Amino acid sequence: MTKPVNRRRFLEASATGALSAAAALRSAPASAQVLGANDRVRIGLIGTGRQGQGLLRGHQALADVEIAALCDVYSPNLAKAGEIAPKAARVADFRRVLDDQGIDAVVVATPDHWHALMTVMACQAGKDVYVEKPTSVAIAEGRKMVEAARKHARIVQVGTQQRSQPHFQKVVDLVRSGRIGDVTLVRCWNVSNAAPEGIGNPPDGEPPPGLDWDLWLGPAPKVPFNPNRFGVTPDAWSHFRWFWDYAGGMMTDWGVHLIDIVQWAMNVEAPLSVSAVGGKLSLADSRETPDTLLAAYQYPDFVMTYENRVCNAQPIDGKGYGIEFHGTNATLFVDRAGFEIRPETRREGDLNLPRTEGLSGAAAREHPSHPRDFVDCVKSRKPPLCDIETGHRSTSTAILGNLAYRSGSTVQWDAKTETVANGNRKAADLVTRAYRAPWKLEV
């Protein structure tokens, strides 16, 4: 039987891991040492779609950053990014960015199935990395990312940007302090309504002009071009998210943001077991990921649930998404707009807790952004707010929900070895994924 993770032991282990990471960075070769405070960090952006363009603007707004290169296999997106950073070089093959010795760091904003390989290759090329969440499609890939960052003494920041928002940090402090009491249940959810047509069922066809479909697929299986698998549309986030070869549905696209805050606040790195139910129960489109999903995670001291439905947008407690920490003294709700505390009736008068707080005012303006934190860490070599180890653990927990769903049975998880512990062969097989030749994930 797996021994439960004691909170204190986990905090001690986390501190040891952080010290090890810092030591690895301090031992980096001269070429990887601290940049001067006034030195400009030259960044290459890989992936210039909707998310990539947002990250481009965020990094470009920093006075000590130069956008040196833009890269995308789809030339219309590359052209749009070029309008934002007209002085940057434009290339279609990311390897040209990695080969440029004048580039200090890269931002990886590609579809998820490229995150691991590009991050590992960037570390090998001596680049620091800001990689979008989720870190990977398979858990084993994420571990390779951690290994590459440590081996090559690179800064790798994961794009779970909520960690840089001051009201999320305050929520973490409130939960850890015990002021809302013992938290035994945490609920996370995203709800929307895409019924009845969803993303539709377009037929396979020829790639659009300006797209290198084979390079877009990269390590994923070779398949004919399909508009939904590529998924670039003017009015929605790219639909690749709903196909297992490239992503993990809402669980890893949005759930990872919520799970990341929960594990941070509750001082845990992984669940003991996960069960999930759901399916594609209403939509008749070509997506592979479920339209309805409920996952339950067992931790040593609490239970976490994640719920997603895309066929009914009725909110939970008036909110379309968010996190609720249910404590013995109060319930704390948080989303990107702020947080709210609802005391238990019996403790109404003596908690002395802030009731609401939002992301506004001087505190929000003065707190460093996620890109700011990344660039500062590139210069100082200090671990970032969401180091790759942390981002990998949050992503892994989200992926475990998908493994339980796809295997149709509970997953018992050994966090130390990152293996399925209860003989669930189907789930165990999904911990890794095969790469299409000639691509290889080697640290």
Q: List the chain pLDDT tens, one digit each, 443 residues.
A: 333 334 333 333 443 344 344 344 434 433 344 566 569 999 999 999 999 999 999 999 999 999 999 999 999 999 999 999 999 999 999 999 999 999 999 999 999 999 999 999 999 999 999 999 999 999 999 999 999 999 999 999 999 999 999 999 999 999 999 999 999 999 999 999 999 999 999 999 999 999 999 999 999 999 999 999 999 988 889 999 999 999 999 999 999 999 999 999 999 999 999 999 999 999 999 999 999 999 999 999 999 999 999 999 999 999 999 999 999 999 999 999 999 999 998 655 556 666 666 644 444 444 569 999 999 999 999 999 999 999 999 999 999 999 999 999 999 999 999 999 988 999 999 999 999 999 999 99
Helix (H) or strand (E) holding 215: helix 213-217
Residues 328 and 411 in one domain: yes
**Are 390 and 158 contacting, i.e. CB atoms less than 8 angstroms apart?**
yes
Residues 330 and 241 in one domain: yes
Q: Could you give the number of structural domains in the chain?
A: 2
**Are 156 and 387 contacting, i.e. CB atoms less than 8 angstroms apart?**
yes
Residue 375 to residue 377: CA distance in whole angstroms: 5
Task: Report the CATH number at residue 337.
Answer: 3.30.360.10
Would 408 be classed as within a structural domain? yes
Would 18 be classed as within a structural domain? yes
Would 1 be classed as within a structural domain? no
Q: What SS3 state is found at 139?
A: helix
Amino acid at 93: D
Task: Report the CATH number at residue 101.
Answer: 3.40.50.720
Q: Please report the pLDDT score of residue 358 as a whole number.
A: 62
Residues 268 and 124 in one domain: no
Would 328 be classed as within a structural domain? yes
Residues 194 and 228 in one domain: yes
Q: Which domain holds residue 381?
A: 7-160+369-387
Residues 128 and 212 in one domain: no
Q: Please report the pLDDT score of residue 18 as a whole number.
A: 40
**Are 320 and 170 contacting, i.e. CB atoms less than 8 angstroms apart?**
no
Q: Please report the pLDDT score of residue 24 as a whole number.
A: 42
Would 46 be classed as within a structural domain? yes
Residues 189 and 90 in one domain: no
Q: Please report the pLDDT score of residue 345 as a whole number.
A: 83
Which 8-state DSSP code applies to residue 74? B
Would 434 be classed as within a structural domain? no
Q: How many CA atoms lie within 13 A of 378 on its CB side?
A: 27
**Are 287 and 251 contacting, i.e. CB atoms less than 8 angstroms apart?**
no
Would 442 be classed as within a structural domain? no
State residue 341 phi and psi, 5-degree precision.
-115, 130
Would 148 be classed as within a structural domain? yes
Residues 88 and 149 in one domain: yes
Residues 141 and 283 in one domain: no
Q: Please report the pLDDT score of residue 360 as a whole number.
A: 45
Residues 225 and 310 in one domain: yes
Residues 299 and 169 in one domain: yes
Residues 54 and 105 in one domain: yes
**Size of the chain, expressed as the number of residues it contains:** 443
pTM (2 decimals)? Answer: 0.90
Residues 152 and 242 in one domain: no
